[in-house]
Structure 1
Amino acid sequence: MALIMRKLSLLAFLLFGALVVATSACRILPGGTSSMVKRHEQWMAQYGKVYRNATEKAQRCWAFSTVAATEGINQIKNGNLISLSEQELVDCDVNGQNQGCNGGLVDAAFQFIIDNGGITTEINYPYNAADGSCNSNMESNSAVTISGFEDVPSNSEASLLKAVSIQPVSVIIDGGDPNFQHYAGGIFTGPCDTELDHAVTAIGYGIDTDGTKYWLVKNSWGTSWGDDGYIKMQRDIDAVEGLCGLAMQPSYPTIN
């Protein structure tokens, strides 16, 4: 992956993004061209492959996307990349819209982390690929807290790009097409629909040597899937919702 990244002209999120103050539920993030290829390469080399290697093809993707975005903003704000517990969300965030292995919503998971006073580490509350009873003793040992979360304006790849230039962003896509499920490399251009059913994490963006723009997306299906667990999805397509609907419901956590 690192070799591929060095060969491509990547733009990616800042490791040290500026604080942005918002006055509405959905904010338009500021632009800017200060993202650096070198910073992105350093991030990928050191932090980009924090992975639970168990095959994660059930409906727990909401927990993985939530955790990936939270790990990212914590590293950016506090300088520590801590592997957080998806299992805590699967076991404990079950009294509202999220129902463990039966599915869930990323924004609801962000709200759970806020209400719960944070989320614990994967070491403290390890992943076991199944629903379980909430372990309140392990859950109470929070490692990372977030202040809130923001929804990126929907159906705007330009707004999504501004957000991803600052931090990892949770995006919801249609992951049901066999072409997506069997992706093995290159830039994925479809086909796919926009029946949103799978949460992933947009961590960067770039332009291939042939001029094709793409999003760099982290999946939750282990490193044997795709390009070492990642997929490059075509960016700036004609449809406003983005490829596979990735621009329809993006969101990200915040830390003051």
Structure 2
Amino acid sequence: MDFPETRWSLIGRLAEQPDQVAVVMELYADPVGRYLRHKFSAEKGGARLDDVVQEVLVYLMEHPELLARAKPGEIEAGQASRFRYFIMTLAYNAARNALRRHTHGREMNAAMGEDGETTVAEALAIARQPTNEAVLAMDRAWAESVLAAAWRDLAAWADDGTLEAEIPRILRENLMDGRNLRDICADLDMPLATCHRRLARGRTYLQKAIADRLRQAGEINLTEDGSAACEVLLGALRA
């Protein structure tokens, strides 16, 4: 997957080029949605939470000046995750507003007041010094989203012939389901040596997909390899 420029360069231009917000939101819409569904888990089972998530994403899309408040130039090296803490907290505040208004019989609206100053300031403060509980929840939502996207990349490579068609199945059954490789080979009527090669090739491409996304988001630097990227991701999922 090609990423022409980093997330930070896009965020840095939002104040002057608000049309770039769509590109930024494409990166964060899924993890933000996952985080909101975790935070408002009591709302699961109804359509209202889905409506809230959509309302929040639309609100953020329409207010790039709020995201531009992240000021990427002020983020120190190794702290790229602060933007996701900022945007997820901003989204949480907006969702809370929408749910409160809905509960009181008003139109469901994620707006943060006339200028959003209070909730934006709160989100910036949390991004600078989040609690351990908040970090775990936000990191997990981010990691789940990146991993899901990496699996989609793998499936796309299998569909277009970049990878052998059976690689996603081999990888998923071995890594996710814990199945023995010999049993997988038997199901596929494939020699064990071939299955080993398919597994190794699939792992390499899955690591590439993860690393590409983490580099683009500023989570790892250009010199770190795929195994380092996977450790970053798995660390968040294991926490």
Same fold (TM over 0.5): no
Q: Which has the larger radius of gyration?
A: 2
Question: Could you tell me the TM-score, scaled by structure 2's length?
Answer: 0.33
Question: Could you tell me the TM-score, scaled by structure 1's length?
Answer: 0.31
